[in-house]
Chains A and B, each alone.
Chain A
Amino acid sequence: MFTTISHMFLWVRDQQEAKDFYVGKLGFEVGTDVTLEEYGGMRWLTVVAPGGLQIALSSVDLSVVHDPDGPAFLREMLAKGLGAGGILRVEDCRAAYDELRGRGVEFSEEPTEHFYGVDAAFRDPSGNQWRVTQPAPVPAGA
C-alpha cells in the first residue's frame, strides 16, 4: 500500500526566515519554492532532509482560511515551544554541535550522554525543536 512518507508539514512564522535556516544553516536542499500570485501570493516551499523526506515549511498565515485567529494563535504556540520538530541522526553529536553552532544555530540543550546515546537539541527561529542524536552503539551479539 504505502511506500514511504514523502512529505511532512511544519508551521513556521516566516517562510523566508525558515528557508534561510533550513537551507543556509542546516544544509538541507530546496525541494520546491514557488509563489502563486494567482492564489494571493501563496508560497509552496519544501526543503529536502538528508534521506529524502521533504518538509513543507508552511506559513502560519495560511491558517487564516480556517480560523481568523489561527495565525496569531499558531505564532504564539510556536514561540512557546509547542510546535513540532524531529530527530536528526548523526554519527558524532559533539562534532555536529560544534559545526552547527559555528553556523549560528541556537541550541536549547548541549550534547549530553543518555542511555540511548548522545544528543543535543536546537530550535529553529520559530521555536520548533530538533534533536541531534548519536545512537548508543549496539552491544556485540545483540
Chain B
Amino acid sequence: MVHDPLERHLLRARDLIDTRYGDHLDVPTLAARAGVSPAHFARRFRATFGEAPHQYLLTRRLERAQFLLRETDRTVAEICLDVGLTSVGSFTTTFKRVVGMTPTAYRELARTPLPAIPMCVLREMTRPK
C-alpha cells in the first residue's frame, strides 16, 4: 500500500479550484478536500505550489474570464458571475490590475479563435502570472 504524500493530497484541492472556480470555495472546503487541517491548509498550499490558495483561485477565475471574453458573447457582468465573482466593479479593477487592460479592451484585442488545445493545457498556458 502506497501512501499519498502531502503534495498529492494538496493537488486534489488544487484540482477542485480548477474545476469549481465558479462556486464559493472557502478554506474549510478546500482543506477538507485535501484532508488537511484548515489551520495549516493555506500555508502548506503556498509552500507546495508557490502561491496562496485564494491567489490561485483568483488567477484561475481571471484565466476563465479571459477565455469567455474572447470565445463567447456573454456580457462582462455575466462573465463576472460565471467565474464565481460577485462584484462587477472589483472584477473590472482586479482584471485591469492583473491583465493590464479592462475586460472590454481585452475582448476587443483578442478576437482570434483559439485552436483545439485541451483545457488543462490552455489553463496552464494562459493563466495570468
A interface, CB within 8 angstroms of B:
13-14, 17, 75-76, 78-81, 87, 108-110, 112, 114-116, 119, 121, 123, 125, 127, 129, 131, 133
Check if B119 sits within 8 Å of A80, measured CB to CB. Answer: no
CB contact under 8 A between A127 and B11, given known A13-B2, A109-B18:
yes
Check if B116 sits within 8 Å of A115, measured CB to CB. Answer: yes
Q: A13-B2, A79-B11, A109-B19 are in contact. List 12 more A-B contacts (CB 8 A).
A: A78-B8, A79-B5, A80-B49, A81-B11, A81-B14, A108-B15, A108-B18, A108-B19, A109-B120, A123-B11, A125-B2, A129-B120
- The interface residues of chain B, by DSSP majority, are classed as helix
The bracket for how many chain B residues form the interface is: 20 to 34
A-B contact count (CB 8 A): 54
CB contact under 8 A between A133 and B118, given known A80-B48, A127-B8:
yes
Check if B11 sits within 8 Å of A131, measured CB to CB. Answer: no
Give min CB distance, A128 to chain B, whole Å: 11
